[in-house]
Structure 1
Amino acid sequence: MEKLTYTNVNGYLIPNITYKSGNQMEQLGKYGFLRRDYLKNHRNSTYQVMLLQDTIGEHLLEVDKAAREREEVILKQLEEKEPLPDKEKNQMAWVRAANQHRAIAEEIILKELIYV
């Protein structure tokens, strides 16, 4: 077990706490950061408990990975249901359809995994 050290701030001893999760935060993607922001702003007590237990990094990485995997599945399902136009013949229609699929997938992910 590591020895806890303290810093003197205006006569008060403040513990120096280090987190292992710090390195994991560097690996986070878009959905991990969205989840972190949601927890901070709307579920602050849960966020603080996870931060103090040093489980926040692992949780955010898990959510980010699950969200990216879910995004792939949703995009494949959408493409099967509504195939994208031929990119060579009509590039603007392809971009429009691809952006629409991505927006639908993102909305589903936000409701299922991020804002819960």
Structure 2
Amino acid sequence: MEKRIYDKQTGIYYELQGDYYLPCLTLPEQPKVEIGIWGKRHLRYIKQHHKIRYTNLLTSCKLTAYLADIDKQAEEMFFRLVNQLSEKEGVTEQLKAENQMLWVRQMNNIRNRATEIVNAELIYT
């Protein structure tokens, strides 16, 4: 028996696996896009909790674009929130020059709150 055959009617190659010929199916190449931490977190979340959405995006070749969009939205939201919260709470460059430890403590607090908001609003929904 041949290891690989081609069916002219369907245009599909079949490969011998044990006693059966199985179709050699592959997804089209998706564009290479750098996905950041936010997109990777969302990918992990939909793989575990929304398997149908993940499968639909993967098989329609829209997963990479979807994750890149989520990553971009989350990044913009995070920086916007950090800027707004630091302005509201008076965490300025002057404070950084006067009391570095206080500035670091307050900025870490702001960044953690912004991360929680982005996670709740975009990543884990």
Normalised to the residue count of structure 2, the TM-score between the two structures is 0.80
Unaligned runs of 5+ in 1: none
Percent identity, please. 32
Correspondence for 1:20: 29
Q: Is contact 2:91–2:103 with CA below 8 Å preserved after alignment? A: yes
Q: 1:65 to 1:7 in 2, by over 3 A?
A: farther
- Evaluate the alpha carbon distance shift between residue 16 and residue 82 of structure 1 in structure 2; reply closer, same or farther with a 3 A threshold: same
SS of the residue corresponding to residue 13 of structure 1 reads strand
Query: Does residue 68 of the first structure (1) align with residue 75 of the second (2)?
Result: yes
SS at 2:24's partner residue?
strand
Q: Is residue 2:51 matched to residue 1:44?
A: yes
Q: CA deviation at 1:22?
A: 6.1
Deviations 1:11-34 (A, max 9, x none): 34143313433622xx00010000
Residue 34 of structure 1 corresponds to: 41
Contact 2:14–2:21 (Cα < 8 Å) also in 1: no
User: Contact between 2:38 and 2:74, CA under 8 Å: does it hold in 1?
Assistant: yes
Bigger mean CA deviation after superposition, 79-88 or 65-74:
79-88
The residue that corresponds to 1:103 in the other structure is 112
**Structure 1 residues 84 and 45: CA distance shift in structure 2, 3 A:** same
Over residues 84-108 of structure 1, what are the superposed CA-to-partner deviations in whole Å (9 max), with x where a residue is unaligned? Answer: 2612222111111111111111111
The structure whose RCO (Cα within 8 Å, separation 6+) is larger is 1
Structure 2 gap ranges (5+): 1-10
Largest Rg, 1 or 2: 2
> How big is the alpha-carbon RMSD for the aligned residues of Structure 1 and Structure 2?
1.8
Tell me how far apart the structure 2 counterparts of residues 69 and 15 of structure 1 sit (CA, whole Å): 41
